[in-house]
Amino acid sequence: MKRRHLLFAAALPFQVTEGEHLRLTGRVLGWTILRDRAPSREAPETGMVLIRVQRPVPPASRPGHLAAMLRAFRPFHFAGFPAEESVELANLPGTAIETRAMGIGSRQALTVRAVCLYGRERSYLLIASAPEADWAVLRPDVLRVMEGFRPR
């Protein structure tokens, strides 16, 4: 399936690439949402990517910032976190965590990959999740969506 870039309205200061499995479905409470194109109707959880623009994070506050954000993220419960890995996307430094979680509403085991990108004027939080059984299929698409993210 052909991937395409989506340029959002002026109110959103980024562009993101849809994937083979993930498509833009809208915005809710400041989150831009991409969801699995063909979810099972009976699935309590489906693959998704959430993106949110946030205030800038000063360099001194960056170590541990992503894990703290995930601890406070209500849709998931995490037993613990691996060390944050350094990443660079869209020419921005960032940190990433990939770990297991439980969906609070579904109580289903999930895999979550979260990335926080640190810009001078704002930071960007990208959180992807999928049921553990679907992660191997969706992970390459999740990585393409995250690598296609571009601030404007």
Q: How many domains would you assign to the chain? A: 1
Contact 71, 92 (CB under 8 A): no
Res 11: pLDDT:
53
Domain that holds residue 118: 17-38+45-151
Which pTM was predicted?
Answer: 0.88
Contact 14, 146 (CB under 8 A): no
The number of helix segments (H) and strand segments (E) in the chain equals 2, 11
In whole angstroms, what is the distance from residue 151 CA to residue 122 CA?
10
Give the CATH number, domain containing residue 34.
3.40.1000.10
State the pairing for strand pair 22-28/31-36.
Answer: antiparallel
24-71 pLDDT, tens per residue?
Answer: 888 888 899 898 887 677 777 888 999 999 999 999 999 999 999 999
62-90 pLDDT, tens per residue?
Answer: 999 999 999 999 899 999 999 999 999 99
**Domain presence at residue 10:** no
**Domain presence at residue 3:** no
**Domain presence at residue 118:** yes
